[in-house]
Amino acid sequence: MTTLPGMADEELLRLDQQICFSLNAASRAFGGVYRVLLRDLGLTYPQYLVMLVLWEDGDLPVKRIGERLRLDSGTLSPLLKRLEVAGLVRRERSPEDERSVTVGLTSEGSVLRERAGQVPRRLLAATGLPVEDLAALRELLERVTGALDSAVVEPAP
């Protein structure tokens, strides 16, 4: 393994630039394709992520959705409100804990699952990568995320 301390700042700067550029670019490229695929479902990409969680797990409190997607209430509250206005989702305070709000699918929200069925296949096809490479990509991303999350980064340079 090539160790970081052995490399020149110049070289690291270039790799850093390439990594952050390419991650940013990839993230936005995915977003662009999803936007097109999801347009006539009336969903944005983050809304699609929430729907995926609900389709898989059924009713969930806002807290759980946030844990699954690493999103806080500042992001989820307005997003869920929009899904509710769109008629896809129901929100009601939990009777046993009045702080918690349970989010559930309306029948319209459940039906939408069928229309979304072809999205994954079409998206994966658009990546142009064989499934093996996609799996490798996912694995690298997960390792990076895990390391970044657990890394204690000192604020002051």
* Contact of residue 112 among DNA, its own copies, none (CB under 5-8 Å per partner type): none
**Which of the residues 102 through 141 are near its own copies (CB under 8 A)?**
115-138, 140-141
Q: Is position 73 an interface residue for its own copies (rule: CB under 8 A)?
A: no
The two tokens of residue 65 are 């959705």
* 3 state DSSP class of 156: coil
Asked if 7 is part of the footprint of its own copies (rule: CB under 8 A), the reply reads yes
The rounded distance, in Å, linking the Cα atoms of 21 and 60 is 36
Of 52 and 100, CB closest to its own copies: 52
Pair of tokens at residue 76: 């989820």
CB nearer to its own copies: give 74 or 155.
Answer: 155
CB 80 within 8 A of CB 91: yes
- Choose from DNA, its own copies, none: what does 74 bind? Cβ within 5-8 Å by kind: DNA
To the nearest whole angstrom, how small is the minimum distance from the Cβ of residue 54 to its own copies? 12
Cα–Cα dist 71/96, whole Å: 24
* Token pair of 10 as six digits: 């110049």
